[in-house]
Amino acid sequence: MFFTTTTMEKKLFYNYFSTQIDAFIDAALNEDIGEADHTSLSCLDNAKRSAAKLIVKEQGVIAGVELAEIIFKKVSPSIKFNVLINDGNYVNEGDIVFTVEGPQYDLLTTERLVLNCMQRMSGIATLTKRLSEMIKHTNCTLLDTRKTTPNFRYPEKWAVTIGGGENHRFGLFDMLMIKDNHVDFNGSISNTLKKTQAYLKDINRELKTIVEVRNLSEIEECLAFPWIHRLLLDNMNPVELKAAIDKIGGVFPTEASGNITEESLVAVAETGVDYASLGALTHSAKNMDLSLKSMD
């Protein structure tokens, strides 16, 4: 399942993955609060209401606003959440993204989870936006990978869509990806794909199949299996990518992957490849500096 960056699709992300995101929130709150926030219990009165604001401390693309509201409302439905800047917008130091008002204990026990999520998501969205802008003159689209933080995959992939990228598969369950080890264990791509085709028929599922290829010979083998969804061109330089794309001749969409950096991305995109997948979008983004401060 792919998520692009139209306003409608960004707002639909939580609708599609509410079960997974709600489970993440529950686990994260339990991890942080445990039996109770004893510090807040010792000095705050949850019968009293206070207000706070989220302040931006550096430039970037804000992400996680919708998630923050979901987290706050999950802790206390009485919390009032006022959005001033929506997900996907550029922000500058000093901007106020939202204000929140509610029971004192509930606000402060929720603060760290909200900040952790938004700082991480905003960093990912900022990096994704910057790289997407670099290749906007091409037809190449940025994809993320499964190189995500354990148990935080859905917010990270959500942030990629907010920043202008698209999502690759979400896990091992929603798409088949035949990689080098699968091929090597079976002796050839043809042997592997024959088994894969039989498996899909046996389970009566139409899961999309991506095949990683390392050279022109492996591409030639793939041409005999027109049901393949996409070819992943692994660890190829721009010259090799162009030769591979010529060999494929438009039969399959193409994806470049492996050791793609910010410095090499433009040259990769300009080869005519349809997608470029970068693990760096989620594993190397720098968190954005944000702060939640009292308005009382």
- Selected catalytic residue, list 179, 184, 246, 293: 179
Q: Are 272 and 242 in contact (CB under 8 A)?
A: yes
Reference 150, options 12, 2, 31, 289; nearest CA is 31
Choosing from 73, 112, 130, 146, which is the catalytic residue? 112
In the residue annotation, 129 being an active-site residue is answered as no
Which member of 101, 212, 218, 255 is catalytic?
212
Whether 212 sits among the annotated catalytic residues: the reply is: yes
Q: Which residues pair with 46 in a beta bridge?
A: none
Are the CB atoms for 62 and 56 separated by under 8 Å? yes
| Cβ 163 vs Cβ 296: under 8 Å | no
Whether residue 112 lies in the annotated active site: yes
Strand partners, 33: none
> How, if at all, do strands 90-91 and 80-83 pair?
unpaired
206 is catalytic: no
Active site residue 179: yes
Please name the residues in contact with 85: beta carbons below 8 A apart, sequence gap of 6 or more. 62, 65, 91, 95, 96, 97, 98
Among 53, 147, 242, 286, the active-site one is: 147
Q: Kindly name the residue from 218, 234, 255, 274 that is annotated as catalytic.
A: 234
**Which active-site residues does the annotation give?**
112, 147, 179, 212, 234
